[in-house]
Amino acid sequence: MSETYEGKNILITGGAGFIGSNLAHRLVSLNANVTVVDALLPDYGGNLFNLQGIEDQIEFSTADIRNSHRMKELVKGQDYIFNLAGQISHVDSMTDPFTDAEINYMSQLKLLETCREHNPDTKIIYTGTRQVYGKPQELPIHESHPVNPIDVNGISKLAGEWAHIMYNNVHKLRTCSLRLTNTFGPRQLMKHNRQGFIPFFIKQAMKNGEIEIYEGDQLRDINYVEDVVDALLLAGKGDTEGKIYNLGHHEPVTLGQFTDTLIEVCGSGSYKFVPFPEEKKKIDVGSTYCDYSKIKDELGWEPKTSLEQGLEQTIDFYKKHGSHYY
């Protein structure tokens, strides 16, 4: 992998966030020339502490992907752009749909147009979401499954993804998309549960709190962040232009099973099952997990980290650094 990225100029949008910062650390270790751009919006997960240890080895810009003037200067000369900037809260997308659409679609269109005009030779790796499928018609979900998002976030992310693919097909920008599933690991926002249940559950367990699980029998495939970073790097390296790939895990677990494992690994915490709040039930997809055979067959990716291993590493990180995330 190092021969692909060593000495290359790489821009990471949303690079002070959860997945983006883990990607930045890896790329620095591969001797890439990394530029991180992040708006550091409150409650969106951007955190300068995420870049601790590499801050002197990267370029950092506090900029919003919606600002085309700033992005024009940042995209110039980049060999790869890992496009991770986005609004990921499903609940927030329903209470503030215009901001969600602005960040997850309009800003993506602006970025693509900026690249078309100022750096048409770059390769763009976009992080999509399995939320675009909505409630699954069959399991596991293959990339050919119909898309039917059930919240504004799913609609906006689908539009952003298709814009990337259209710019590949029509304007010959080199783009691809990975549809991510539930992802966890170090450097993830834990203050609230609007960006996913996993980090919030981890925080509650570490504080010996009682976790509330909505129903609990929903199946999920869960990826450790380092495995997701592997997938992003393989997508950048491979012949992936114009393609969409699912990520996933070969061992889906129910939310109840996940929480049992979390409490066992953490050595603290408890849980109870509670009814779904009505506003969240309306946009819950139920059991969902993906078929990732396409990316396995074409790029050789599959998750390496078990749930137990990932939780052990994550909890160890927050025991040392939790004050920067709670």
Give per-residue pLDDT as tens, 170-214.
999 999 999 999 999 999 988 777 767 999 999 999 999 999 999
Q: How confident is the model at residue 216 (pLDDT cuts 50, 70, 90)?
A: confident
Which amino acid does the sequence have at 84? L
- Residue 88 pLDDT: 84
- Residue 42 pLDDT: 82
- Cβ proximity of 156 and 100 under 8 Å: yes
Between strands 174-180 and 123-129, the pairing is: parallel
| Residues 6+ positions from 192 with CB-CB distance below 8 Å | 43, 200
Encode pLDDT of 234-285 as tens digits.
Answer: 999 999 999 999 999 999 999 999 999 999 999 999 999 999 888 788 888 9
Looking at every residue in the chain, the average pLDDT score rounds to: 95
- Residue 254 pLDDT: 97
Share of residues in the chain with pLDDT > 90 (%): 87
- How crowded is the C-beta side of 318, counted as CA atoms within 13 Å? 25
Q: How many Cβ atoms sit within 10 Å of the Cβ of residue 284?
A: 16
- Residue 278 pLDDT: 83
| Whether residue 163 has pLDDT greater than 90 | yes
- Residue 310 pLDDT: 98
Q: How many Cβ atoms sit within 10 Å of the Cβ of residue 64?
A: 17
Encode pLDDT of 22-64 as tens digits.
Answer: 999 999 999 999 999 999 988 788 999 999 999 999 999 999 9
Residue ranges per domain, the chain? 2-185+222-249+291-305
Could you name the CATH architecture of 2-185+222-249+291-305? 3-Layer(aba) Sandwich (3.40)
Q: How confident is the model at residue 92 (pLDDT cuts 50, 70, 90)?
A: confident
- Residue 90 pLDDT: 85
- Residue 12 pLDDT: 98
- Residue 279 pLDDT: 79
Average pLDDT over residues 130-144: 97
Average pLDDT over residues 102-121: 96
Average pLDDT over residues 132-149: 97
For residue 326, count CB atoms less than 10 angstroms from its CB and return exposed for 0-12, middle for 13-18, buried for 19 or more: exposed
- Cβ proximity of 247 and 181 under 8 Å: yes
